[in-house]
Amino acid sequence: MTRVKICGITEFEDARDAVLLGAAAIGLNFYASSPRYVDPTRAAQIIEKLPPFVTIVGVFVNHPDPQNLEDFALSLGLHAVQLHGNETPDYCSMIQRVKVIKALRVDSNFRVDTLRSHGSGTFLLDACSPDQFGGTGRSFNWDLVFGANAFGSIIIAGGLTPENVAQAVTTLHPFGVDVASGVESKPGKKDYEKMRRFIEAVQRTDVALMDKP
């Protein structure tokens, strides 16, 4: 089954609704320049109220000290860190006590075999923007990432909406899909109906794929 992560959560009510609707994970953005930034105090309040069996992912961009980042993640109760900057394979390998999701931006020069050198095992593939580290609301050419599943668990992001996520799941069979702006009424504020339609579209597609001979 395709896992759904609702990213850019800034309010507990949105996190609660996402989980009740069936999201497997929520994302909290600790990149200060993001319109979806959440400060650690508010993040802790959101995490404290969440039920069990929810994966909590922290989003970071070019944090200068991987050990400090790891300590912060553990102190807050994060299950994984999603690294959206220019973090190297060596940087990723220094984080051992929480799971690492390495985000990579896909442009026309992207080659899936480059995933082999990163070694984190879980990759988020996102649209490439020269001035933004994710959260662009733009999709990328999915043809460029065919075969990525051979190199680890693949999460597809970038411009996903309730209208196109079924096509993404059908085309790429990813481990998961990640959405922020596609289910928002404004940056950082989730829209309940959009989240519902997004998650239901993924669930329906999974069922349809299982029914295929």
Query: What is the set of active-site residues?
Result: 7, 126
Backbone angles phi, psi at 210, to 5 degrees: -70, -30
Sign of CA dihedral 35, 38, 62, 93: negative
Contact assessment for residue 24 and residue 4, using Cβ atoms and an 8 Å cutoff: yes
Residue whose structure tokens are 């999709």: 139
- DSSP H/E element including 124: strand 122-127
Structure tokens at 94: 């220094």
The DSSP-derived string for 38-55 is --HHHHHHHHHHPPTT-E
Q: What angle do CA 123, 91, 68 make, to 5 degrees?
A: 110
Backbone angles phi, psi at 14, to 5 degrees: -70, -40
